[in-house]
Amino acid sequence: MLLIGMFDSPFVRRVAISMKLLDLPFEHANWSVGKDFDRIREYNPLGRVPTLVTDDGEKLMESAAILDYLDERVGPERALLPRSGPDRRRALNLMAMATGAAEKGVQQVYERIFRPENKRHEPWLHRCRTQMSGALAAIDRHLGERGLAQWLVGKRMTQADITTVCVYTFLNDTLKVAADPVVYQSLGTLAARCEALPAFQETRVPYFTPTGPRGGAP
């Protein structure tokens, strides 16, 4: 399989980590949605990442769809998302908050990169920061309420943990959320534990500041 996109994207990275944890080998096209936009569009008309090309040539786009395919491929016993019931709904809800926080973070980063300071709309940036911080705080609170539990859902790592840590690391790299007045202590502990694992270390790269048209997102 071929995974297209740079690992500094939390959406690409969560797919790569999932594939490593599930022992699904893949080649990696380290393409930027800025400078490699036209090349990516040969596989995905939106020019967005991640895009996954399966072994039989099928092209999958949007990280949630790719993760669903990976879980289907390995079967319910190894799937990273709980198969049904409250745990599944809870994991999906946590993932929605995490990816929503990432999207609001990306919007802030783009404002900073692509707009001159006098063109930035502060009320919009404040709204994005409020949404991002609210989502992170809710996840942090949920984890804190689980007491001695190591993971966000159930008794093992799930996609909720992978996605949340990828997003938290991205937002800390780009916006320094760990220094936010709202202290995400439980999230920081979860991130430190996960980032020490081989699958996370092998996909950890600095944020690459885009300089051209940007099409990256979920």
Rounded Cα distance, 116 and 60, in Å? 36
The percent of residues above 90 in pLDDT, for the chain, comes to 84
The pLDDT value recorded for residue 181 is: 65
Rounded Cα distance, 96 and 103, in Å? 10
Distance of CA 180 to the CA centre of its chain: 20
Rounded Cα distance, 216 and 137, in Å? 25
pLDDT above 80 (res 92): yes
State pLDDT tens for residues 199-215.
999 999 999 877 654 44
Rounded Cα distance, 91 and 162, in Å? 11
The pLDDT value recorded for residue 112 is: 87
Mean local confidence (pLDDT), 19-31 = 99
Bridge-based pairing state of the strands 59-61 and 51-53: antiparallel
The verdict on pTM exceeding 0.85 is yes
Rounded Cα distance, 139 and 161, in Å? 10
The pLDDT value recorded for residue 117 is: 86
State pLDDT tens for residues 175-198.
998 877 678 999 999 999 999 999
Buried b (16+ CB within 10 A) or exposed e, 1-33: bebbbbbbbbbbbbbbbbbbbeeeebebbebbb
Q: Residue 167 phi/psi, 5° resolution?
A: -70, -45
The pLDDT value recorded for residue 171 is: 96
Average model confidence (pLDDT) for the chain? 94
The pLDDT value recorded for residue 18 is: 99
Among the residue ranges 42-51, 54-63, 69-78, 182-191, the one predicted with the least confidence is 182-191
* Domains of the chain, earliest start first: 2-74 (3.40.30.10), 85-201 (1.20.1050.10)
